[in-house]
């Protein structure tokens, strides 16, 4: 009987659903395409190259130079599959496990907030079937690893808020730092976590010291990479990816608006497509070291963007909306090599700078693409509706809820603008699923008004 009960455990069933969905998608893609390249994106090679360099030469390099654009977290993760001779197969298998671990962490985070097993099950079920998490487990990209690390950090902070044990903050600091090494957008996340720790009730100096200790430990783990970049490439920052994005994506949009031309025309005419086109338009830069090149990109981008701040902010807000509700249709189609169903020059025909009339006309000419996009967009909308419909219980655990909302806003704000992509929603979705959990439980009449409905009061520090 005990074995039968364990087999029928609802959480086990949800995890099984998560595994099956994440196995079925890459299997279907492989049977359809027989092409390992289907599991990559345009950015995958930029992680694979330094991973190969680590294995062959023992250095983190790309193009014969120290790599200061990518950070070593995901390349190290890829290195295992490369060493075994099956990079995509091993990586996808590991990412499926990580994605299922994220489903479990979603359950535990919801349990920590609401102390209601039905709400926790509802939240984990939502994330088990969430389209982007299913998709990116099959892509050689950072999303699955990064999201698991972010959820681990948040769960540890929630545990600290409940019991005050400092060891939870140590684990949170480690997870946050590894997340930043996986994707630099996580670099400042420790500020959000530390702020929540500082304001843990009852307010007292010990809480402030522990919040500062969390921040200090994260900085101690992150600063060595900046020092490495300074020593190896004369670049003082953690990653040059922000300079690349500012110069090759944000700046052309602002300049195109000022000059009355299209975004693509501006990029082509000014050599703002990639680093090679930049060198063709600025041949003197070929003699510069990496630090000089990226500092120049950063300086030029800031000067141009500051000339039209209102338009830059407008595009940034549009990008935040795209991250929140963008369907990710193109990536689903690319997995099955069905890109012909998508509009040509997707990034420009449906980009943030494209006129609304052009976007609508393009979509109406590609109805299968439009239909799939509408279907995929319903999920984030559904989660937001559920979240807003059941926000009345937030007052019982306001600090914990604030942690989730602040993390969501953190990723939305830092990822907005011309580089915005639906995949940047990936670390946000499990948190939205947690917030939507009470709504889904109530929707199906499973809301439990038991004493454990609200989270318990924090225990004293150990």
Tokens at residue 436, please? 């939507």
Tell me, what's the pLDDT at 462? 46
CA–CA dist 166, 155 (Å, integer): 14
Could you report how far apart the first and last alpha carbons of the chain are, in Å? 40
**Percent helix, strand, coil in the chain (nearest 5)?**
75, 0, 25
Q: How far apart are CA 462 and CA 458, in angstroms?
A: 12
Residue 418's SS3 state is: coil
Q: Which tokens hold the place of 83? A: 């060493």
| Residue 198: half-sphere exposure toward Cβ, Cα within 13 Å | 13
**The pLDDT value given to residue 60:** 98
Q: Please tell me whether residue 235 adopts helix, strand or coil conformation.
A: coil
Contacts of 110 (CB under 8 A, 6+ apart): 119, 120, 122, 123, 124, 433, 434, 437
Q: Are 403 and 157 in contact (CB under 8 A)?
A: yes
Among residues 99, 97, 86, the alpha carbon closest in space to that of 36 is found at: 86
Q: At 66, is the secondary structure helix, strand, or coil? A: strand
- The residue assigned the tokens 């969430």 is 130
Adjacent-strand bridge partners of 61: 66
Which strand (E) or helix (H) includes residue 230?
A: helix 205-233
Q: For every one of its 462 residues, what pLDDT tens digit does the chain have, with 9 covering 90 and above? A: 454 455 569 999 999 999 999 999 999 999 999 999 999 999 999 999 999 999 999 999 999 999 999 999 999 999 999 999 999 999 999 999 999 999 999 999 999 999 999 999 999 999 999 999 999 999 999 999 999 999 999 999 999 999 999 999 999 999 999 999 999 999 999 999 999 999 998 889 999 999 999 999 999 999 999 999 999 999 999 999 999 999 999 999 999 999 999 999 999 999 999 999 999 999 999 999 999 999 999 999 999 999 999 999 999 999 999 999 999 999 999 999 998 999 998 888 899 999 999 999 999 999 999 999 999 999 999 999 999 988 886 777 899 999 999 999 999 999 999 999 999 999 999 999 999 999 999 988 744 444 344 433 444 444
The pLDDT, as a whole number, for residue 447 is 46
CB of 189 within 8 A of CB of 153?
Answer: yes
Whether the pTM exceeds 0.85: the reply is yes
Please check whether residue 265 is in contact with residue 258, taking contact to mean a CB–CB distance below 8 angstroms. Answer: no
Q: What pLDDT sits at residue 265? A: 95
CB 448: neighbour CB atoms within 10 A?
A: 15
Name the residue among 156, 198, 200 with its Cα closest to residue 178: 156
Which contiguous run of DSSP H or E holds residue 191?
helix 189-198
Q: Rounded to an integer, what distance in angstroms lies between the CA atom of residue 83 and that of residue 372?
A: 38
Helices (H), 57-142: 73-84, 87-114, 117-128, 131-136
Structure tokens at 69: 């654009």
Q: What are phi and psi of 436, to 5 degrees?
A: -85, -15
The angle that helices 10-33 and 117-128 make with each other, rounded to 10 degrees, is 0
Please count the residues of the chain.
Answer: 462
Quickly list DSSP for 397-462. GHHHHHHHHHHHHHHHHHH-STT--GGGGTTTHHHHHHHHHHHHHHHTT----SGGGSPPPPPPP-
Type and span of the H or E element at 258: helix 251-259
399 Rama sector, left if φ>0, alpha if ψ -120 to 50, beta otherwise? alpha
């Amino acid at each position: 009987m005990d074995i039968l009960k364990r087999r029928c455990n609802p959480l086990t069933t949800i995890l099984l659903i998560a595994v099956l969905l994440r196995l079925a998608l890459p299997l279907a893609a492989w049977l359809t395409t027989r092409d390992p390249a289907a599991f990559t994106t345009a950015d995958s090679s930029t992680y694979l190259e330094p991973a190969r360099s680590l294995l062959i030469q023992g250095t983190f390099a790309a193009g014969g130079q120290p790599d200061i654009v990518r950070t070593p977290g995901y390349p190290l993760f890829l290195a295992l599959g490369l060493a075994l001779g099956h990079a995509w197969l091993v990586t996808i298998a590991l990412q499926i496990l990580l994605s299922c671990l994220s489903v479990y962490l979603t359950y535990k985070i919801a349990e920590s907030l609401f102390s209601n097993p039905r709400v926790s099950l509802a939240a984990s079920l939502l994330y088990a079937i969430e389209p982007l998490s299913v998709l990116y487990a099959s892509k050689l990209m950072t999303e699955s690893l990064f999201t698991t690390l972010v959820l681990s950090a948040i769960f540890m902070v929630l545990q600290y808020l409940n019991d005050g044990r400092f060891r939870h903050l140590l684990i949170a600091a480690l997870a946050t730092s590894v997340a930043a090494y996986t994707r630099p957008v996580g670099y400042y996340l420790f500020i959000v976590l530390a702020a929540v720790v500082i304001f843990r009730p009852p307010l007292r100096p010990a809480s402030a010291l522990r919040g500062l200790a969390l921040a200090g430990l994260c900085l101690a783990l992150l600063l060595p990479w900046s020092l490495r970049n300074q020593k190896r490439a004369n670049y003082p920052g953690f990653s040059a990816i922000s300079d690349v994005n500012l110069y090759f994506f944000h700046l052309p949009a602002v300049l195109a608006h000022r000059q009355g031309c299209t975004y693509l025309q501006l990029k082509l005419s000014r050599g703002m497509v990639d680093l090679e086109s930049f060198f063709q338009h600025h041949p003197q830069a070929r003699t510069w070291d990496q630090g000089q090149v990226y500092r120049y990109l950063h300086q030029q981008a800031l000067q141009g963007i500051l000339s039209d701040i209102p338009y830059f902010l407008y595009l940034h807000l549009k990008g935040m909306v795209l991250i929140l509700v963008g369907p990710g249709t193109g990536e689903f189609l690319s997995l099955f090599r069905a890109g012909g169903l998508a509009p040509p020059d997707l990034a420009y025909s449906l980009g943030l700078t494209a006129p609304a009339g052009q976007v609508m006309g393009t979509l109406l000419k590609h109805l299968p693409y439009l239909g799939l996009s509408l279907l995929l967009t319903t999920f984030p909308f559904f989660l937001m509706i559920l979240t807003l419909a059941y926000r009345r219980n937030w007052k019982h655990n306001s600090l914990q809820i604030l942690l989730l909302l602040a993390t969501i806003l953190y990723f939305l704000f830092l990822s907005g603008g011309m580089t915005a992509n639906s995949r940047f929603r990936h670390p946000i979705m499990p948190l939205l699923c947690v917030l939507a959990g009470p709504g889904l439980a109530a929707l199906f009449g499973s809301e439990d008004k038991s004493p454990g409905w609200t989270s318990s009061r924090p225990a004293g520090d150990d």
